[in-house]
Amino acid sequence: MKEITAKELQRFMEKDQTLTIIDVRETAEVADGKIPGAVNIPLGLLEFRMHDLDKSAEYILVCRSGGRSAQAVRFLENQGFDAINMAGGMLAWEGKTE
């Protein structure tokens, strides 16, 4: 499984690189703040929202601590998607939130 650190992701974002971030936390958790531009698709709904995703795109998955996003990465990889887990999740994120 591919992983990226919160610091690496923040550096990519500062360089205005186009990234697609999916936050797999529950809606109530995301209400406390998420990475700017991240799309919230709770882990339990990911299977039902796959039709919204593009297999030619790369996705960075985020959750609170990295566990649920790792599950999401494994699931998406098994479905033919290119996915990367943000290690440490939002607990490791020091950048801006929205």
Catalytic residue list: 63
Are 97 and 31 contacting, i.e. CB atoms less than 8 angstroms apart?
Answer: no
Tell the burial category of 87 from Cβ atoms under 10 Å away from its Cβ (0-12, 13-18, 19+). middle
